[in-house]
Structure 1
Amino acid sequence: MADTEHGRITDEGIAKLRARIGQGFPGRRPWRTEVTRDAIYHLALAIGDLSPLYLDEDYARKTRWGTLIAPPIIVQTMDTLRAVGHSGLPEGLPGVHSIWTGSLYEWERVVKLGDRLRADCYLKSLSEKESTFGGGRALYQTYEAVYYDQDGRRVGLRNDTWIRIERSKTREKKKYGETALAEWTPEDIARFQEEYRRQTRATERYWDDVKVGDALGPLLKGPLTPTAEIAFESFFGIYLVGNLVAARLYDKHPALMIPNEQGVPEPPQRVHWDNAFTQRLLGLPGAYDLGPERCAWLCQGMTDWIGDQGLLTRIEARYHKFNYMGDVTWVKGQVSDKFERDGKAYVRCELQCVNHRDEVTATATAEAELPHR
């Protein structure tokens, strides 16, 4: 195994990162700058959210939005936090692995067809803790992006937090090594197919009719496959590169790249679809999803429920466990509060991603604006 796999968390590395707090990323190019029909379509398919608000222009034109809108998480592709050809995020500590632990999104309005967004991006905070997963020292890095539209008006923000852990220690500890990857029978697949056929979404929801304790979902996702994971990740760019682009990335960030079974350096993104690679690198049972994918599912759990006139304004997601290849997930939740603020009516909901092992792999608190009757 190459030495680049054995990155270390050091006082010197942490000090270099602390000097970066509040600093941005000049010279990086966003993966996407404009909300096109194709961008909306591709993201809807990547998430598995076939809302007519995203896909049917005639339908969307008759709603309060007057045009196609995009799945809310599209903003993540429109900043320089994870720019192609760079080390991505989190930065610093070459060869030290990173895993998404939480995301916070806020939206002041929907993102619409034709929007051109830019973002101010920077490292927001660092904190050091002990890690039971990493078997020792761990670092939490939080980044922020604030989004503005073509008229300079603020659209929203996101904060993402990663834990940094040393790969050699996670491989030695194998905290989750006893978890067995799922296997499904044709009868199981038929059951999931039938559940997918029954999936529906609300077209209207009024604040006046909502009661605390009302249920959301369940919304089925999975079984997770390498194909599904690549479909999601390809929408967001970053490490899905080859040839000259990959060679230049290797020149700039050699410790980022890990030799594959044929000796070719590749970015670590294969942990999201390659079981054998992930078992070898991290000692985990298999490949696992990208945290924001479950955030996108949690967002859909809300947008399916709030109806065509509702506006998702905030979600704070926390990723508690891995979502492995083959796992099946149900997004479910309930209304925890309803309130009015500045003349508008809102609901607050608590959501969960629950897998087929009955484990809660992610939770979220979300808020949405609903119309009055």
Structure 2
Amino acid sequence: MTGARMTGEGRAATAPTGVITDEAIKRLRARIGVPEPHPVPPHYRRPGEDAFRHVAEAYGDDNPLYTDPVYAASTRWGGLIASPVLVGGDTLIGEDEVTEVPAAQRDLMRGDPLRGVHAFYAASVREWWAPLRPDHRVWRRNALVGVLDKPSEFAGRAVHEWTAQVFRDDEGTLLAGQYRLMIRTERRKARERKKYDDVALVPYTDEQIAEIEAQYASERPRGGEPRWWEDVAEGDELGPMVKGPLTVTDMVCWHVGMGMGLYGIKPLRLGARNRARIPRFYHRDELNVPDVMQRVHWDPAFAQRAGNPTTFDYGRMRETWLIHLCTDWMGDDAWLARLECEFRRFNYVGDTQWLRGTVTRRYLADGDRPAVDVELRAENQRGELTTPGRATILLPSREHGPVRLPDPPGSSSDLAGVLEAIVARFDR
């Protein structure tokens, strides 16, 4: 994709770059609901037991429900199920159900109407409707579902761009939806704010490290002991759970399970082909060697060139940590139905995140599903809130019985119907 638009005579006319215009927003909104293939293939085409284990380990989860077939066979699920993290995750799973843009809409989908406008990953919403079992192929649909014109505190005008990916298995079971918020702001105005100039990276004392190690030693999944809905009260606490101090090793282990992400990063000859495909994602280092901008996550010099004091995590990592907090608390008989979170501050290498939650509501969802809503938060060792979130968890009940899984949006039976229902949500 080039970012140019075609005139009626077929000539390429360069669109204004770096500026949010009414015309650009109108063109972007015209794309809502149009299915298109994902830019890169899935990391796992047919995820099995090994994939389930690698993904859980990538974010530090030792729940045997996701990793031990013998244990999982004794649970209400009767065998391994994937961690909620795996069912989505940008590029983890999902072969394209729609492999090319429909011919009548190719001109509409060509280029980026907001070319040159700064984009940052601001928030995520995920929901889960059914478990993924081992050794199934997974299919996905992808579409823009919401374009919201918003005033911005520091950039004058911003666009909230929501995209959706929805997933099913090869038997037609609808599994999950994942919705990403990219906030688009004009670069010149966005640069006026220097939010991270005063971040101080302070070494830990031996006592602080000992406190973190003691917290790790105290953590474990609830497992087979049911957390009954009747035993939960508003104000109950989840956690604490600790993640950190973040190291480059943590980042490496993350990639082992999660793959290399949205830009299709690969090594050597495969990397050269990727450079030819997306050359502007590659920048030269001090030896004049082109490398991916993703290097900001493991190379302090690259991170500093991008305006940060040092390397930092992926926002998606902290989302998976909040998922881990919920699944450790709720036990194997429960179901994580929905989780949303915002990425408000960077999590730098050396930072420690303390995760906590509070039950804010106990109720019957849809009239008959025992549920709780939970406020979630991740705070670093400086006491800064980096990742607020919210979750809905379905719990087993002595009165109402085992968890009954949620219905997909619109009670749809296929991915096209699910996407249509999601678009309707954002259009309210």
Same fold (TM over 0.5): yes
Aligned to 1:66: 78
Does the alignment pair 1:26 with 2:26? no
Supply the distance in 2 between the matched residues of 1:80 and 1:319 (Cα, whole angstroms).
Answer: 28
**Which range moves more in the overlay, 50-59 or 97-106?**
97-106
State the SS of the aligned residue for 2:234: coil
Does the alignment pair 1:55 with 2:67? yes
Supply the distance in 2 between the matched residues of 1:241 and 1:284 (Cα, whole angstroms).
Answer: 25
Supply the distance in 2 between the matched residues of 1:324 and 1:22 (Cα, whole angstroms).
Answer: 36
- Structure-2 change in CA distance of 1:222 and 1:78 (3 Å): same
Aligned to 2:18: 8
Aligned to 2:141: 120
Supply the distance in 2 between the matched residues of 1:96 and 1:299 (Cα, whole angstroms).
Answer: 31
Does the alignment pair 1:350 with 2:379? no
Aligned to 1:288: 312
Aligned to 2:412: none
Q: 2:359 aligns with which of 335, 349, 369?
A: 335
Amino acid in the other structure paired with 1:154: L
**Which range moves more in the overlay, 48-57 or 95-104?**
95-104
**Which range moves more in the overlay, 140-149 or 337-346?**
337-346
- Structure-2 change in CA distance of 1:342 and 1:112 (3 Å): farther
Aligned to 2:180: 160
Does the alignment pair 1:189 with 2:209? yes
Instruction: State the TM-score, normalizing by the size of structure 2.
Output: 0.76
State the SS of the aligned residue for 1:115: coil
Aligned to 1:232: 254
Show the 5 A alignment for 1:133-212: 135=155, 138-165=158-185, 173-203=193-223, 204=225, 205-212=227-234
Aligned to 2:298: 273
- Structure-2 change in CA distance of 1:102 and 1:261 (3 Å): same
- Deviation by residue 1:299-327 (Cα, 9 ceiling, x = unmatched): 11110111111111111112222111111
Contact 1:182 1:327 in 2 (8 A): no
Supply the distance in 1 between the matched residues of 2:360 and 2:115 (Cα, whole angstroms).
Answer: 42
Contact 1:110 1:311 in 2 (8 A): no
Aligned to 1:307: 331
Amino acid in the other structure paired with 1:196: Y
Instruction: State the TM-score, normalizing by the size of structure 1.
Output: 0.86
- Deviation by residue 1:2-42 (Cα, 9 ceiling, x = unmatched): xxxxx834548766644543333337532323221111111
Contact 1:109 1:311 in 2 (8 A): no
Offset at residue 94 of structure 1 (A)? 6.0
State the SS of the aligned residue for 2:86: helix
Contact 2:130 2:174 in 1 (8 A): no
State the SS of the aligned residue for 1:73: coil
User: Larger C-alpha radius of gyration, 1 or 2?
Assistant: 2
Show the 5 A alignment for 1:64-143: 64-75=76-87, 76=89, 77-79=92-94, 92=112, 98-129=119-150, 131=152, 135=155, 138-143=158-163
Amino acid in the other structure paired with 2:214: E
* Equivalent residue pairs, number: 356
